[in-house]
Amino acid sequence: MSSPAILAGKRLLLGVSGSVAAYKAVDLASKLTQGGAEVSVILSESAQRFVTALAFQAVTGRAVHTDMWELGSDGRGHIAHIELGENADLCLIAPGSAQTIARLAAGFADNLLSLTALSLRCPLLIAPAMDGGMYEHPATQANLATLRARGVQIIAPAMGRMASGLRGQGRLPETAALVGEIRRALGRQSGALRGRRLLVSAGGTREALDPVRYLGNRSSGRQGYAIAQAALDAGAEVTLISTVEGRDAPVGAGVIRVETAAEMRAETLTHLAGVDALIMAAAVADFRPAAAASQKIKRGTLETLALPLERAADALAAVAERREQGSGPAVVVGFAAESEDLRRHAAEKLVAKRLDLLLANDITEADAGFAVETNRITLFAKDGTVEEWPLLHKEAVAQRLMAWIATLLAAGDSTAEE
Ligand code: CTP
């Protein structure tokens, strides 16, 4: 997992209650700390039966809290729970045991964790983890419903093997999923794209030649996925139209799977309603076989094989038409991978595709573009601005792009108000 900028400097409160999954919370505390967050951990009495305060102290480098009578460190004579609750940017209880969930739903203040939950001034997330039967029990479900109604975000437990050996829904989600939920909640709290909807395309399209083979390209989808994650970090609602297999989508993104350019165009248009910004990071085929063979093409005695190709559907061209008719997203961003004369081709594409921003890169450079972690972008804006960005990690490219989109959307809002 790379270090997400959104976690840097954030004060996170991690409440750990008594479930066998408590050991996984040590990994979570470690990953959050590695991401630059200040992680304060509260352990319930039962949690201490499963894991030690020392383990959390070692991975967070901070004192761990267990005692509701502990004095705070702010010199104001406050006891710790007030200070912990007041100072946090976000609180996650993971694992949340049935007992802790019941305590919180009833508003009890009989241990440091429940006491602190009553002092919180920040969003509270709870990841329940318990045996499947306990999770499904009406008492637990009613308690969760009560907490939800009060604005607590409940992270659904995962399905799978339980400590009891039975299968059920009650497993603590993996660390990456919990980190993703935290990022999303932090973004929604203070991100520059709060309340915005973004549609992002990612990956390379595949056009069938026959039932076995396809015409494709080298796009890995990394840049598109990084954009979707950066948009979530900035608080946006994100839909990702993706051709990519085997890569976990960012937590919180709605994912639409496509394969061909025609599907990419159709899904883009279907999901355009209410979208503030469209980012077409996908490498979409320009040509496809005029007719895919229904049976596998046999080698036979052929020495050469000519395949007639026809123009593939162009998603951005369809979006441009909609914008001409006065609908469509306020901001449309395209990508261009060029192998020669980048500035001229990019400037032409910006106009031809009626884009607000075009991010171009030279694919002849080994450290930029397809299948590598980094990209060297030249940004072209509709107002004539040209920015040469240094070699950046694709996540950093995505963050810079989000800053541009936030500025363009804000400028659009103020023009609309005039
Ligand atoms: N694009 C698209 N549909 C296509 C081809 C491209 O929506 N059938 C989008 C890409 O996602 C990208 C932008 O258009 O954001 C530019 O893609 P590119 O292939 O560079 O542009 P083309 O117009 O195909 O120009 P050329 O291939 O001739 O350089």
Residue 3 has pLDDT above 70, yes or no: no
pLDDT tens digits along 324-373: 998 999 999 999 988 889 999 999 999 999 999 999 998 887 777 676 89
Output phi, psi for 51, to 5 deg.
-140, 160
Element (H, E) at 167: strand 167-171
Q: What is the dihedral of CA 236, 240, 245, 246, to 10 degrees?
A: 10
Q: Whose CA is nearest to atom 5 of ligand 1?
A: 284
**DSSP, res 353:** T
Tokens 């480098």 belong to 61
Q: Write down all domains in the chain, each with its CATH number in brackets.
A: 5-184 (3.40.50.1950), 193-417 (3.40.50.10300)
Tokens 């996650």 belong to 92
Q: Whose CA is nearest to atom 15 of ligand 1?
A: 334
Distance CA 102, CA 228 (A): 36
Q: Where are the alpha helices (DSSP H) in 150-294?
A: 175-190, 222-233, 261-270
**Residue 284 Cα, ligand 1 centroid: separation in angstroms?**
6
Distance CA 258, CA 263 (A): 6
Residue 416 has pLDDT above 80, yes or no: no
> Do the bridges between strand 277-280 and strand 386-393 make them parallel or antiparallel, or are there none, so unpaired?
unpaired
**Residue 273 Cα, ligand 1 centroid: separation in angstroms?**
22
Output phi, psi for 176, to 5 deg.
-60, -35
- Would you please indicate which residues are annotated as catalytic (active-site) residues? 217
Question: Across all residues in the chain, what is the average pLDDT?
Answer: 94
Q: pLDDT band at 76, cuts 50/70/90? A: low
**DSSP, res 188:** H
Identify which of 279, 331, 349, 354 to mutate to test ligand 1's pocket (most ligand atoms within 8 A of the CB): 349
Question: CA separation (Å) from 57 to 21, 60, 66?
Answer: 18, 5, 12
**Residue 209 Cα, ligand 1 centroid: separation in angstroms?**
21
Residue 71 has pLDDT above 80, yes or no: no
Residue 189 has pLDDT above 90, yes or no: yes
Q: Whose CA is nearest to atom 24 of ligand 1?
A: 286
Q: Whose CA is nearest to atom 16 of ligand 1?
A: 336
Tokens 């165009």 belong to 265
pLDDT for the residue numbered 1:
44
**Residue 155 Cα, ligand 1 centroid: separation in angstroms?**
39
Residue 152 has pLDDT above 70, yes or no: yes
**Residue 212 Cα, ligand 1 centroid: separation in angstroms?**
26
| pTM of this structure | 0.92
pLDDT tens digits along 216-237: 999 999 999 999 999 999 999 9
pLDDT tens digits along 40-69: 999 999 999 999 999 999 999 999 999 988
Distance CA 292, CA 282 (A): 22
Nearest alpha carbon to residue 7 among 113, 86, 92, 99? 92
Distance CA 92, CA 103 (A): 15
Ligand 1 atom, smallest distance to 285 CA = 8
Nearest alpha carbon to residue 32 among 234, 236, 188, 183? 183
DSSP, collapsed to helix, strand or coil, labels residue 108 as coil
pLDDT tens digits along 135-150: 999 999 999 999 999 9
Q: pLDDT band at 314, cuts 50/70/90? A: very high
Identify which of 260, 286, 377 to mutate to test ligand 1's pocket (most ligand atoms within 8 A of the CB): 286
pLDDT for the residue numbered 263:
98
Distance CA 6, CA 188 (A): 11
Q: Whose CA is nearest to atom 23 of ligand 1?
A: 349
What percentage of the chain carries pLDDT values higher than 90? 85
Q: By CB neighbour count within 10 A (0-12 exposed, 13-18 middle, 19+ buried), where does 77 fall?
A: exposed
Q: Output the ligand 1 site: residues, CB below 6 A.
A: 261, 280, 282, 284, 286, 312, 314-316, 334-337, 349, 353
DSSP, collapsed to helix, strand or coil, labels residue 89 as coil
Identify which of 207, 259, 284 to mutate to test ligand 1's pocket (most ligand atoms within 8 A of the CB): 284
The per-type count for the chain, helices as H runs and strands as E runs, is 14, 20
Tokens of 374: 């980094």
What percentage of the chain carries pLDDT values higher than 70? 96
pLDDT for the residue numbered 58:
98
Distance CA 230, CA 226 (A): 6
Chain centroid offset of residue 291 CA: 37
Residue 84 has pLDDT above 90, yes or no: no
pLDDT for the residue numbered 59:
98
Question: CA separation (Å) from 32 to 14, 217, 248, 324?
Answer: 10, 36, 19, 46
pLDDT for the residue numbered 78:
65
Q: By CB neighbour count within 10 A (0-12 exposed, 13-18 middle, 19+ buried), where does 143 fall?
A: buried
Strand order in the sheet with 374-381: 254-257, 237-242, 197-202, 277-280, 331-338, 357-362, 374-381, 386-393
Q: pLDDT band at 379, cuts 50/70/90? A: very high
Per-residue pLDDT averaged across 167-171, rounded?
93
pLDDT tens digits along 239-290: 999 999 999 999 999 999 999 999 999 999 999 999 999 999 999 999 999 9
pLDDT tens digits along 88-141: 999 999 999 999 999 999 999 999 999 999 999 999 999 999 998 999 999 999
pLDDT for the residue numbered 349:
94
Q: pLDDT band at 415, cuts 50/70/90? A: confident
